[in-house]
Amino acid sequence: MNDAKERLPGHIAIIMDGNGTWAKKRGLPRNFGHRKGVQTLINTVKYCQQIGIEYLTVFAFSTENWSRPKEEVDYLMKLPEQFLESYRQTMRDNGVKLRVIGRKDNLGEKLLQKIIEVERETMNNSNINFTIAFNYGGKDEILNATKHIAMALKEDKIKLNDINEKLFYDYLYTKDLPVVDLLIRTSNQIRISNFLLWQIAYSELYFTDVLWPDFRRRDLDKAIDEYKNRNRRFGGLK
């Protein structure tokens, strides 16, 4: 194989789908699936770190997920707080740099404080950049960036001719992250669901019927092997 095919994706993004289906198949409440999915996430972060993935971004809760039953939403609001508290020491000790992207204006105070604390504690870590998209929507992110650019224009901080793709990216939540190389979605759902719309413009897409709680190292290896064997042309010919 040539060097391009051997190259690992620098930035992997995952839509972690299938927690509820996993629980339903076992006659369990949906929340059991979400709990199992958290363990899968921890294992995935560890494995990405082991094999040399520099950036991992996961979709944990979308701006549209508020329409789910209140009991499930309430649980999903508590889950990241529990995850951050139980995993914070491991992230500190193993060089995991955490970011949480998405809207913060309607999150609970305790969760916000926990996010701030763990981001601060891990900000100088460099083994892997782990980003959680929580209360996130791709359209919402683009609209938010557009509003901030419009305000900068109004306040004469930038000129109209300054606006290009690079400047626009600097106003996105992911301004400190590279664009996505490989997007993975589990649970046999063949759609993007408003996730990282700008950042995946030229990503390789990989869909698997494996439910997220059942996603293992071998499944990630399959996705990466598929990525290595694709010819990424970015609109050109090579």
Supply the residues annotated as catalytic. Answer: 17, 65
Helix residue ranges, H only, the chain = 3-6, 19-25, 30-51, 70-93, 109-122, 138-154, 165-169, 217-228
Note whether 131 and 195 are within 8 A (CB). no
Strands in 11-15's sheet, in edge-to-edge order, are: 96-101, 128-136, 55-62, 11-15, 182-185, 204-207
Give the amino acid at 24. Answer: K
Give the whole-angstrom CA distance, residue 183 versus residue 206: 6
